[in-house]
C-alpha cells in the first residue's frame, strides 16, 4: 500500500498533471473560439489572400501560382484574364517556405482542379524549416489561439461556433498590387558563370512531391523564376536548371528574358530590383498568359456570363492601377 | 564600547544604538554617516578599516561594529 | 536517419534570442527543467554548466569566447592573489614585529599590481568595445570644428550580449579575493558556472561569488514548492514583459523618433510610457531569470524592490537595478570615500562643518565617481553621461537640503511620517525619474533637451490623434489592457510594500494550497496567452537592458 510520503508525491504529481490537461484543453477551446470562421481580411486571417481561394466557385480556376513574396508581387491573374480569358489564382504569400506552399497547394485543390501549377523558385533556395521549426508550426497550427488571440479586440461573439464558411472573395485573386517604384541598378545578375548553387535536400523533396501530387491530379507543374536583380543570379539558375532537368520538371527563367518581356528596371520594381511592382507584374503575366493559351488546355471565358464577375474585377483592377 | 556609543551618538543622536539591529538594512545610517563613522572610528581606535570591511553585517548594530573593531585591533 | 545527420551537418540549430522567445518558452525551459530533474545529483552541476554555455552559444557565438577568457582570467588572477597572500603570511610569520608593516606593504603593492592588470583586462575590454566609437566620433567632431578634413574611421565591434554584466561579475570575484572576502577558487569549472549561469548572463542580476557560486555548484534537488513558485514567477515576468512592455514598444519608439512633430503633452506621455516599458521589461526579465533559478532551487540576488515607492532619488537607486548599485557602492563609493586622503578630509571637515556637511565633501567626490561610471556603463553617449550627472546632482541636492527640510518641517509642524507627505515625496521622486528616463531614451542629448523644452513651451495633447495611435500600432483597447495589467501588478506591489507576501497567502489554506497555487498559474497563463502583445502585428522585442 501507499505510505504517507508516496501518497503526497502522487497528490503533487496529480495536481500538475491535471493542470497540464486543463491548460491544454483550455487552449484548444480558446483556439476554437478565436479562429475566425470566415475569411474577411480584418478578421485576422493569416494569408487571407491565399485562403480566399476557398471562396471561389467550384472548379472555376484554370491555373494557380505558388511562391513567396517574389510571386506575391509578380503574378497578377487579372492581367491574364484581360488578355486571354483564362482564370488563374495567386496562392503566394510573403516569406512562405516551401513546405507551407505545399500546404497551400493542397488548399487550392480542395475546391479547384487547376490544369497548370506555377511555382516561383526563390523560396527553393531558402533554408528549409528544420525539425523543431516544423514542430513549432504544427504547435501554432493546433493552438491557433496563438495566431488569432489579438482578435479579443474586435471579435464578433455571434460568429463563435459557426461552421467554417469562407465567403470573402479577393478581387485581385491573391495578387497584391504595389504601385511604388524604386529604380534598380542595371542588371548584372545573369553574368555567365559555371558554378551552380546547392539546393537543400528537403526542398528538393518537397518540390518533387508537389510535382507528383499535381501529376496525379492531371495538372502540369512548372517552375518559374520571376525577374529580380537582387534575388536571382546565374549560379542559382544553373542549380535550378540542373535540378529541374533531373526531376523532369519544366523550368522557365524569366531572368533571361528582360528584353523579350520589355522589363525596364527604372520603372518595373517596387524596391530597386528586389520585387516587381504592378507594372512589371503586368509584363510578365502577358507572357505567362500567352504560355497558358499556347497549351491549348483552356477556353476563353471572357464572354461567358457565369464569369462576368471577373470582368467587373478587371475594371476595378484597371481603375486601381490608373485612378482617374 | 562606551567610546563607540559616544561616537555614534555624535553622528546621529536620534537612534537607540543599544538595541537597534538593522542600522544599515533599515536605512537608518546613510552612506554619509558611514563615511564619518569610519573616519572617527579609525581615529579613536587606531585602526584601519579596509573597504572590504564596509559591509552591512559589520555595521548593522553597535555590537557588530565593536566585534569588527576588536578584530582589526588584533591585526 | 540521414535527415538528422543532415541537420547536424548544416548546423541548423534553433535560434534563441531571449527568455521570451517562442522556442525558449516552448522547448528550452521545459527540456532544461526535465533534464535537470532526471540528472543524477553528481552530474547536475556539469549539466548546468553545459546548458548555460549552450544557451550562450545559441544566442551569440562570440559570447562564449568572452566568457571563456573571463573565466580563465578569474581563475588565474585569483590563484595569483592567493599565492601572494600565502607568501605574505609566511613572510610575516618570520618577521620581527617592527618590520611587519614594511613587509606587508611590499606584498600589498604586489597584489595591487595584479589587481591593476585584472581591471585593465576586464574594464579595458569593455572600454574598447563600447567606447571606441564614441571617442573617435568626438575626436572627428573636434577635427571638423577646427577645420581639419582627415577624419578617423569609426570602428565597429561586434559587442557580445551581456558583457557589461558578466565583466562586473568577474571583476567582483577578483576584487573579493584581494579583499579576503572570498577564497581563491581552485576549481575553474565552478568559476565558469558562476559566471555563465544562463538565467543571469544576459542582463544580470550581477551576482557575487559568495552569493551564488556554492549554491550553483551544489545544484540542489527540485522541490514542489520552489518549482510551483518559480513557474508562477516566470509567468508573472512574462506578463510584465509581453503584455505591457512589448505592447508599448512601437508607440514609444514613434514618439521618441518623431517628437519634432509632436506637442509637449504627447512627449510627456511618451516619457511616462517609456519609464513603464523599461521597468516592465527589465524587471519582467529579472522575474523570468529568477523564476528559472528558483525552480532548480537557486536563489539569485533580487534586482528590484518596488522602486516606484521610493521617497527620494537616493532611495530609488537602492531599489532599482540593485545589484549594479551595490556593485558601485562596494567597489567604487566606499573605496573612494574611505581612502586615506578622503578620511583625513572628512575628519577635519567634520570639525569645521559639523556632522552633516563634514562627510559630504568626501561623499560627493565618491558619489561623482559612481555616477560618472554609472552613466558610462550604460553606454557611450552624451545622454548617458548626462543621465548619470542628473542623478548625481539630484542626490547631492538631496543631501545638502536635508537639514533645511528638517528645519522647515519642524517650523511648519509637518510630520514626515504623514501619509500625504510621503505620497508627495513618492510622486516627486517618480516625476524626477521619468524626466531622467526621457534623457536616457532620447536619440542624442540635444534631442533630449528639445523634447524636455517642448513639454514647457508647447504643452497640449493636440497631436495625440487617432492617426498617431494608428502609426504607433496601438489603440485605446491596448491602453486599457495595459492599464488593467498595471493595476494588478500595482496591487501585488502594494501588498508586498505592506509586507504581505502573496506567496504566503497562497500557502495558507491547509487543504488544497497546491491546487490554489496551480490555479493561479493557470489564470496567469491564459491571461498571457490571450492578452500578450505577440504574434501578428507585434515584433519580438529584445530585453532592453541587454544592449547596455
Q: Could you tell me if C405 and C505 lie in one domain?
A: no
- Residue C8: pLDDT band with limits 50, 70, 90: very low
Q: Count the Cβ atoms, other than its own, within 10 Å of residue C470.
A: 10
Among C180, C201, C221, residue at a domain's last position: C221
Residues of A within 8 A of C476 (CB-CB) are: none
Tens of pLDDT, residue by residue over C50-67, are 999 988 888 877 888 999
Assigned domain for C241 exists: yes
Q: Could you tell me if C22 and C115 lie in one domain?
A: yes
Q: Count the Cβ atoms, other than its own, within 10 Å of residue C270.
A: 25
- Residue C192: pLDDT band with limits 50, 70, 90: very high
Tens of pLDDT, residue by residue over A228-265, are 999 999 999 999 999 999 999 999 999 999 989 999 99
Residues of A within 8 A of C532 (CB-CB) are: 149
What was the ipTM of the complex prediction? 0.85
CA angle C187, B51, C357 (to 5 degrees): 155
Residues of B within 8 A of C358 (CB-CB) are: 36
Assigned domain for C336 exists: yes
Residues of C within 8 A of A34 (CB-CB) are: 530
Q: Which of A9-18, A279-288, C504-513, C524-533 has the lowest mean pLDDT?
A: C504-513
Assigned domain for A30 exists: no
Question: How many structural domains compose chain C?
Answer: 3
**Half-sphere exposure of residue C538, counting CA atoms within 13 Å on the CB side?**
25
> What is the domain extent for residue C481?
224-300+439-548
Q: Could you tell me if C408 and C475 lie in one domain?
A: no
A133 and C14 in contact by Cβ < 8 A? Answer: yes
Tens of pLDDT, residue by residue over B14-72, are 788 888 888 887 777 778 888 888 888 888 888 888 877 888 888 888 888 888 888 88
- Residue C434: pLDDT band with limits 50, 70, 90: very high
Q: Give me the residue from B39, B54, B55 closest to C347, CB to CB.
A: B39
Q: Using CB atoms, list chains with 3+ pairs below 8 Å to chain C.
A: A, B
Q: Could you tell me if C171 and C129 lie in one domain?
A: yes
Q: How far apart are the CA of C314 and the nearest CA of chain B, in angstroms?
A: 10
Alpha helices, DSSP H only, in A171-303?
A: 201-216, 234-247, 278-295
In degrees and rounded to multiples of 5, residue C183 shows phi and psi of -80, 145
Tell me what percent of the residues of chain C surpass a pLDDT of 70: 95
Assigned domain for A21 exists: no
Tens of pLDDT, residue by residue over A98-108, are 988 999 999 99
- Helices (H), strands (E): how many in chain C? 25, 0
* Chains C and B contact (Cβ–Cβ under 8 Å for 3 or more pairs): yes
Question: According to the model, what pLDDT value does residue A1 have?
Answer: 57
The crossing angle, in degrees rounded to 10, of helices C419-441 and C264-295 is: 100
Question: According to the model, what pLDDT value does residue C81 have?
Answer: 94
Measured between alpha carbons, how far is C49 from C38 in angstroms, rounded to an integer? 16
Assigned domain for A302 exists: yes
Question: According to the model, what pLDDT value does residue C361 have?
Answer: 86
Assigned domain for C507 exists: yes
Question: According to the model, what pLDDT value does residue C385 have?
Answer: 92
Q: Give me the residue from B43, B51, B55 closest to C335, CB to CB.
A: B51
Assigned domain for C459 exists: yes
Q: Could you tell me if C201 and C128 lie in one domain?
A: yes
For residue C409, pLDDT over 70 is answered with yes
Give DSSP secondary structure letters for C43-80: GHHHHHHHHHHHHHHHH-HHHHHHHHHHHHHHHHHHHH
Assigned domain for A153 exists: yes
Assigned domain for C453 exists: yes
Alpha helices, DSSP H only, in C152-263?
A: 163-179, 188-196, 198-201, 209-218, 224-238, 246-257
Assigned domain for A18 exists: no
Question: According to the model, what pLDDT value does residue A125 have?
Answer: 94
* Chains B and A contact (Cβ–Cβ under 8 Å for 3 or more pairs): no
CA angle C205, C208, C210 (to 5 degrees): 135
One digit per residue, the tens of pLDDT, for chain A of length 324 reads: 567 888 888 888 899 899 999 999 999 999 988 888 877 776 667 788 898 999 999 999 999 999 999 999 999 999 999 999 999 999 999 888 898 899 999 999 999 999 999 999 999 999 887 777 778 778 888 888 888 888 888 777 777 777 777 888 899 999 999 999 999 888 788 898 999 999 999 999 999 999 999 999 999 999 999 999 999 999 999 999 999 999 999 999 999 999 899 999 999 999 999 999 999 999 999 999 999 999 999 999 999 999 999 999 999 999 998 887
A2 to chain C, any CB pair closer than 8 A? The answer is: no
Question: According to the model, what pLDDT value does residue C253 have?
Answer: 92
C174 to chain B, any CB pair closer than 8 A? The answer is: no
Question: According to the model, what pLDDT value does residue C15 have?
Answer: 53
| B–C CB contacts, 8 A cutoff, strictly below | 60
Question: According to the model, what pLDDT value does residue A114 have?
Answer: 96
Measured between alpha carbons, how far is B61 from B28 in angstroms, rounded to an integer? 11
For residue C11, pLDDT over 70 is answered with no
Q: Could you tell me if C237 and C279 lie in one domain?
A: yes
The residue among A296, A263, A292, A300 whose CA lies nearest residue A280 is A263
Residues of C within 8 A of A26 (CB-CB) are: 522, 526
Q: Could you tell me if C45 and C177 lie in one domain?
A: yes
For residue C410, pLDDT over 90 is answered with no
Q: Which of A151-165, C76-90, C379-393 has the lowest mean pLDDT?
A: A151-165
A11 to chain C, any CB pair closer than 8 A? The answer is: yes
Tens of pLDDT, residue by residue over C469-500, are 888 888 899 999 999 999 999 999 999 999 89
Q: What is the CATH number of the domain that holds A215?
A: 3.40.50.1110
Residues of C within 8 A of A132 (CB-CB) are: 14, 23, 27
C355 and B55 in contact by Cβ < 8 A? Answer: no
Question: According to the model, what pLDDT value does residue C2 have?
Answer: 39
Alpha helices, DSSP H only, in C94-149?
A: 100-145
B36 and C334 in contact by Cβ < 8 A? Answer: no
Residues of A within 8 A of C7 (CB-CB) are: 130-131
- Residue C7: pLDDT band with limits 50, 70, 90: very low
- Residue C305: pLDDT band with limits 50, 70, 90: very high
**What is chain B's percent helix, strand, coil content, to nearest 5?**
60, 0, 40
Q: Could you tell me if C103 and C190 lie in one domain?
A: yes
Assigned domain for C4 exists: no
Q: Using CB atoms, list chains with 3+ pairs below 8 Å to chain A.
A: C
For residue C237, pLDDT over 90 is answered with yes
Q: What is the mean pLDDT of residues C280-300?
A: 94
Measured between alpha carbons, how far is C195 from C169 in angstroms, rounded to an integer? 7
> What is the domain extent for residue A150?
35-321
For residue C4, pLDDT over 60 is answered with no
Tens of pLDDT, residue by residue over A44-75, are 677 888 989 999 999 999 999 999 999 999 99
- Residue C5: pLDDT band with limits 50, 70, 90: very low
Q: How far apart are the CA of C424 and the nearest CA of chain B, in angstroms?
A: 20
Q: What is the pTM of this model?
A: 0.83
CATH-assigned architecture of domain B2-12+21-74: Orthogonal Bundle (1.10)
Q: What is the mean pLDDT of residues C396-406?
A: 87
Q: Could you tell me if C83 and C211 lie in one domain?
A: yes
Considering only residues 228 to 267 of chain A, which have any Cβ-Cβ distance to chain C shorter than 8 Å? none
Question: According to the model, what pLDDT value does residue C67 have?
Answer: 93
Question: According to the model, what pLDDT value does residue A319 have?
Answer: 93
Amino acid at each position: 500500500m501507499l505510505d504517507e510520503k508516496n501518497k503526497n508525491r502522487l497528490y503533487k504529481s496529480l495536481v500538475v498533471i491535471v493542470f497540464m490537461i486543463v491548460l491544454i484543453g483550455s487552449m484548444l477551446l480558446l483556439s476554437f473560439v478565436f479562429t475566425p470562421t470566415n475569411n474577411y481580411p480584418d478578421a485576422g486571417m493569416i494569408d487571407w489572400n491565399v485562403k480566399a481561394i476557398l471562396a471561389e466557385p467550384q472548379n472555376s480556376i484554370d491555373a494557380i501560382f505558388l511562391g513567396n513574396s517574389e510571386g506575391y508581387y509578380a503574378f497578377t491573374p487579372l492581367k491574364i484574364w484581360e488578355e486571354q480569358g483564362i482564370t488563374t489564382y495567386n496562392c503566394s504569400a510573403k516569406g512562405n517556405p516551401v513546405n507551407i506552399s505545399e500546404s497551400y497547394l493542397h488548399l487550392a485543390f480542395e475546391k479547384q482542379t487547376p490544369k497548370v501549377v506555377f511555382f516561383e523558385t526563390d523560396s527553393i533556395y531558402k533554408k528549409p524549416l528544420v525539425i523543431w521549426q516544423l514542430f513549432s508550426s504544427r504547435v501554432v497550427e493546433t493552438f491557433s489561439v496563438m495566431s488569432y488571440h489579438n482578435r479579443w479586440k474586435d471579435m464578433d461573439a455571434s460568429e463563435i461556433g459557426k461552421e467554417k464558411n469562407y465567403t470573402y472573395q479577393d478581387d485581385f485573386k491573391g495578387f497584391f498590387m504595389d504601385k511604388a517604384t524604386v529604380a534598380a541598378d542595371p542588371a548584372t545578375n545573369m553574368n555567365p558563370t559555371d558554378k551552380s548553387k546547392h539546393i537543400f535536400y528537403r526542398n528538393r523533396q518537397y518540390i518533387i512531391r508537389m510535382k507528383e501530387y499535381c501529376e496525379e491530379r492531371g495538372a502540369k507543374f512548372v517552375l518559374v523564376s520571376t525577374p529580380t536583380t537582387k534575388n536571382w543570379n546565374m549560379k542559382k539558375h544553373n542549380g535550378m536548371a540542373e535540378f529541374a532537368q533531373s526531376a523532369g520538371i519544366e523550368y522557365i527563367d524569366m531572368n533571361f528574358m528582360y528584353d523579350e518581356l520589355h522589363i525596364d528596371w527604372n520603372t518595373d520594381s517596387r524596391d530597386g530590383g528586389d520585387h516587381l511592382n504592378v507594372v512589371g507584374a503586368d509584363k510578365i503575366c502577358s507572357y505567362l498568359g500567352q504560355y497558358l493559351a499556347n497549351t491549348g488546355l483552356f477556353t476563353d471565358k471572357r464572354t461567358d456570363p457565369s464569369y462576368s464577375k471577373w470582368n467587373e474585377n478587371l475594371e476595378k483592377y484597371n481603375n486601381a492601377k490608373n485612378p482617374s | 564600547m562606551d567610546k563607540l556609543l559616544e561616537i555614534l551618538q555624535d553622528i546621529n543622536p536620534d537612534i537607540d544604538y543599544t538595541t537597534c539591529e538593522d542600522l544599515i538594512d533599515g536605512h537608518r545610517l546613510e552612506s554619509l554617516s558611514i563615511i564619518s563613522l569610519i573616519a572617527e572610528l579609525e581615529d579613536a581606535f587606531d585602526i584601519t578599516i579596509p573597504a572590504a570591511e564596509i559591509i552591512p553585517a559589520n555595521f548593522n548594530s553597535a555590537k557588530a561594529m565593536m566585534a569588527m573593531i576588536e578584530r582589526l585591533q588584533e591585526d | 536517419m540521414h535527415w538528422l545527420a543532415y541537420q547536424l551537418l548544416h548546423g541548423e540549430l534553433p535560434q534563441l534570442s531571449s527568455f521570451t522567445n517562442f522556442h525558449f518558452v516552448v522547448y528550452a525551459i521545459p527540456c532544461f527543467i526535465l533534464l535537470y530533474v532526471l540528472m543524477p545529483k553528481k552530474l547536475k552541476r556539469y549539466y548546468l554548466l553545459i546548458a548555460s554555455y549552450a544557451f550562450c552559444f545559441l544566442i551569440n557565438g562570440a559570447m562564449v569566447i568572452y566568457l571563456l577568457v573571463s573565466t580563465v582570467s578569474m581563475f588565474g588572477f585569483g590563484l595569483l592573489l592567493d599565492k601572494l597572500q600565502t607568501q605574505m603570511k609566511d613572510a610575516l610569520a618570520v618577521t620581527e614585529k617592527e618590520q611587519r608593516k614594511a613587509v606587508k606593504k611590499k606584498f600589498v603593492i604586489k597584489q595591487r599590481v595584479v589587481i591593476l592588470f585584472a581591471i585593465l583586462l576586464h574594464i579595458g575590454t569593455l572600454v574598447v568595445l563600447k567606447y571606441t566609437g564614441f571617442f573617435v566620433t568626438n575626436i572627428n567632431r573636434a577635427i571638423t570644428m577646427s577645420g581639419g578634413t582627415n577624419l578617423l574611421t569609426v570602428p565597429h565591434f561586434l559587442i557580445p550580449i551581456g558583457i557589461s554584466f558578466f565583466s562586473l561579475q568577474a571583476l567582483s570575484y577578483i576584487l573579493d579575493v584581494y579583499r579576503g572576502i572570498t577564497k581563491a577558487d581552485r576549481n575553474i569549472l565552478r568559476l565558469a558556472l558562476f559566471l555563465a549561469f544562463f538565467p543571469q548572463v544576459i542582463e544580470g542580476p550581477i551576482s557575487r561569488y559568495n552569493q551564488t557560486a556554492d549554491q550553483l555548484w551544489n545544484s540542489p534537488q527540485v522541490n514542489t514548492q520552489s518549482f510551483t513558485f518559480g513557474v508562477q514567477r516566470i509567468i508573472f515576468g512574462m506578463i510584465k514583459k509581453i503584455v505591457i512592455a512589448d505592447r508599448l514598444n512601437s508607440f514609444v519608439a514613434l514618439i521618441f523618433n518623431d517628437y519634432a512633430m509632436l506637442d509637449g503633452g504627447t512627449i510627456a506621455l511618451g516619457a511616462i510610457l517609456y519609464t513603464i516599458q523599461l521597468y516592465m521589461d527589465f524587471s519582467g526579465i529579472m522575474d523570468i531569470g529568477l523564476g528559472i533559478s528558483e525552480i532548480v532551487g537557486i536563489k539569485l540576488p533580487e534586482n528590484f524592490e518596488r522602486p516606484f515607492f521610493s521617497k527620494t532619488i537616493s532611495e530609488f537607486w537602492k531599489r532599482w537595478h540593485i545589484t549594479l548599485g551595490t556593485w558601485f557602492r562596494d567597489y567604487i563609493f566606499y573605496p573612494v570615500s574611505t581612502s586615506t586622503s578622503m578620511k583625513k578630509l572628512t575628519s577635519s571637515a567634520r570639525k569645521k562643518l559639523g556632522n552633516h556637511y563634514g562627510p559630504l565633501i568626501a561623499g560627493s567626490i565618491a558619489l561623482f565617481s559612481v555616477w560618472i561610471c554609472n552613466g558610462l556603463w550604460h553606454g557611450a553617449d552624451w545622454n548617458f553621461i548626462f543621465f548619470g550627472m542628473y542623478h548625481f546632482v539630484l542626490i547631492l541636492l538631496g543631501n545638502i537640503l536635508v537639514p533645511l527640510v528638517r528645519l522647515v518641517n519642524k517650523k511648519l509642524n509637518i510630520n514626515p511620517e504623514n501619509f500625504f507627505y510621503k505620497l508627495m515625496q513618492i510622486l516627486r521622486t517618480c516625476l524626477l525619474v521619468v524626466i531622467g528616463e526621457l534623457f536616457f531614451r532620447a536619440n542624442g542629448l540635444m534631442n533630449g533637451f528639445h523634447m524636455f523644452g517642448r513639454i514647457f513651451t508647447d504643452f497640449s495633447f493636440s497631436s495625440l490623434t487617432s492617426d498617431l495611435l494608428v502609426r504607433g500600432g496601438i489603440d485605446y483597447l491596448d491602453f486599457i489592457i495595459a492599464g488593467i495589467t498595471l493595476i494588478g501588478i500595482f496591487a501585488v506591489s502594494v501588498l508586498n510594500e505592506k509586507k504581505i507576501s502573496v506567496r504566503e497567502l497562497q500557502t495558507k489554506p491547509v487543504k488544497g494550497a497546491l491546487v490554489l497555487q496551480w490555479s493561479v498559474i493557470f489564470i496567469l497563463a491564459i491571461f498571457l496567452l490571450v492578452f500578450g502583445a505577440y504574434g501578428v502585428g507585434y515584433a519580438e522585442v529584445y530585453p532592453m537592458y541587454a544592449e547596455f
